[in-house]
Structure 1
Amino acid sequence: MTLVTVDVHTHLGERGTHVGGPLADDEMRVWGRTHWDVTPAGHAAAAAAATASVVLAFDAEPVGTVVPNEYVAKAVADKPNLIGFASVNPTRPDAAARLRHAVEDLGLYGLKLGPTYQHFHPHDPACLDLLEIADHYGIPVVWHQGTTFTRAAIAEFARPLQLDLPARRFPALRMWIAHFGHPWTAEALSVVRRHEHFYVDVSAMDTRPWQLAQALATASEYQVFDRVLFGSDYPFSTVERTITGLHRAAALCRSLGIANVTASDIDHICARDAVALLGLRPRPPRSSQQPPGP
């Protein structure tokens, strides 16, 4: 039986309260249904499929969706299997203060950035200033650096190669690209190969078997398979569906002769200890005596 040690990519957020605007409208346009409508109780039940799960805030007002840091901090409080990550849009005037508050007062472990959703370029000085703060605290950064379904996103900010400059600027900062950077999976892996503290996750790729097979083959060719992290992108997928998709893509690699990705290789992705790899060190919040606000 395949076991998942750490799911590095899961979401919270309720439609109408946190998830709205063009992103929610485009979700219905593309799929004809709502996926992103997750209460803390529903998330906690799904998270039982992994030993630990990263829970991402989402500060993307330009696309109509804001899952606050305080909301995530409250949802993960007293749940040792849940690891809360902040999200801060670097374009906010108080971005630095928001990140410091998330780390020092809320006790969150990392930072989620999505340039295509948050409408900034990864080379923007405001972004680099925020990364300097993350580097100071030693918290990892996950990037949504790839395509997306909503028309409100800015596609030209989404290419994975744009992360090469931040990686050069902050060589000790642990960072990873979500969703294998699809559809630019080889480009994402070229960044990972160049920088020893860079990773990718496999989230939301189980419904894209050909892209996932190509990505796994490229990771094997570039000899960075050990930096591929398990992620489900719940509620857009689940741990179980992600495992099935990974094994299906590995079988496709073998049947097409593009790479000898074995079932054991997939088991290693699922069992990878991302907590240790990413340096996810607990930081008790200064305000731990008072529960975070709603």
Structure 2
Amino acid sequence: MSRVRVDVHTHLGRHGTHVRGPLAEDEIRAWGRVSWDVTVEQHAAAAAAADTSIVLAFDAEPVGVVVPNDYVAAAVAGRPQLIGFASVNPTRPDASYRLADAVEKLGLRGLKLGPTYQHFHPHSKQCLDLLEVANHYELPVIWHQGTTFTRAAVAEYARPVQLDLVARRFPKLRMWIAHFGHPWMAETASVIRRHEHFYVDVSAMDTRPWQLAQALAAAAEYRVLDRVLFGSDFPFSTVEQTVAGLRRAAALCRSLGIADISDNHVDDICSRDALSLLGIDRPTVAVK
């Protein structure tokens, strides 16, 4: 199996503490079980399959998920292979302060946003004001811009094309769209190709081989295969499952004749230096 250099998309958090209803109940309805129930130790063990992993906080109280910034900061402390990202809902009155605090006091290195979960439009003043803070600190931003299983989400906030305005407003801000923006993979590819510092990850797409094949084909057609980052979406998937899913999707592309995606292309995704692309310094062990 290809060694994964950077997994740009992982989660931790406990069911009943950080992950509650309505999302937890909808996860059972959609998948038959709760996957988002993982300890710090379980996460660290799974993350060993990659050289470096980004760990995401998530401030999505409207759907019942709050994985706090300080919880993530404590989880990555002393683990130089892990990089913590903050999450702040832009609708909070003190959103800008919370993000500055996460950077300056907690040492978090990026920002996670999910408009469909956090109930804000990407063009809203609240969002753009928070992105001014991210831009000031040169924080990379990961967006969940795509569909989701929970009925508590706001679907009209989820289209990838809505981030075109954001990228125009902040041309130097490094950003990426999670899950290839499914089911709008071609729309995602068409948006990111327009902007120098815009990327996409393949997290959780291994369970949808046809959509992942279409995503890789769209990336090839729009000539943005070099913008595709590796992400597992642990605990919903693993590094090993994601690599295997990429190989299956590449083979499907070839067998159907929709794109010439080779195993070398998959190896490129796995070995891509996402930290450099996202402007993140390599983690070091803090001296105590």
Q: Give the TM bin, normalised by the shorter chain.
A: over 0.9
Cα deviation for residue 157 of structure 1 reads: 0.2
CA distance in 2, matches of 1:18, 1:31: 19
Q: Which residue of 2 aligns with 1:269?
A: 269
**Identity over aligned pairs, percent:** 74
CA distance in 1, matches of 2:50, 2:169: 33
Cα deviation for residue 31 of structure 1 reads: 1.1
Amino acid at match of 2:198: F
Say whether 1:16 aligns with 2:41: no
Q: Which residue of 2 aligns with 1:139?
A: 139
Contact kept? 2:205, 2:212, Cα under 8 Å: yes
Contact kept? 1:54, 1:82, Cα under 8 Å: yes
Amino acid at match of 1:270: C
Say whether 1:71 aligns with 2:71: yes
Say whether 1:247 aligns with 2:250: no
CA distance in 1, matches of 2:39, 2:112: 19
Cα deviation for residue 213 of structure 1 reads: 0.5
Compared CA separation, residues 101 and 282, structure 1 to 2 (3 A): farther
Runs of 4+ aligned residues of structure 1 deviating over 6 Å after TM superposition are: none
Amino acid at match of 1:138: E
Q: Which residue of 2 aligns with 1:29?
A: 29
Q: Which residue of 2 aligns with 1:233?
A: 233
Q: Secondary structure at the match of 1:46?
A: helix
Say whether 1:40 aligns with 2:40: yes
CA distance in 2, matches of 1:123, 1:20: 28
Say whether 1:94 aligns with 2:89: no
Structure 1 unaligned regions, length at least 5: none
Q: Which residue of 1 aligns with 2:217?
A: 217
Contact kept? 2:179, 2:204, Cα under 8 Å: yes
Contact kept? 1:141, 1:175, Cα under 8 Å: yes
1:12-45, Cα deviation, whole Å (9 max, x unpaired)? 1101110001000101111111100011000000
Structure 2 unaligned regions, length at least 5: none
Contact kept? 2:83, 2:283, Cα under 8 Å: no
Contact kept? 1:135, 1:170, Cα under 8 Å: yes
Amino acid at match of 2:74: K
Cα deviation for residue 281 of structure 1 reads: 2.8
Q: Which residue of 1 aligns with 2:118?
A: 118
RMSD, aligned CA = 1.4
Cα deviation for residue 283 of structure 1 reads: 9.2
> What TM-score results when the alignment is normalised by the length of structure 1?
0.96
Q: Secondary structure at the match of 1:5?
A: strand
Cα deviation for residue 57 of structure 1 reads: 0.2
Compared CA separation, residues 239 and 289, structure 1 to 2 (3 A): closer
Amino acid at match of 2:245: G
CA distance in 2, matches of 1:289, 1:247: 41
Aligned residues: 287
Say whether 1:148 aligns with 2:132: no
CA distance in 2, matches of 1:51, 1:20: 31
Q: Secondary structure at the match of 1:235?
A: coil
Q: Which residue of 2 aligns with 1:182?
A: 182
CA distance in 2, matches of 1:177, 1:135: 17
Q: Which residue of 2 aligns with 1:158?
A: 158
1:139-175, Cα deviation, whole Å (9 max, x unpaired)? 1000000000000000000000000000000000000
CA distance in 2, matches of 1:32, 1:210: 22
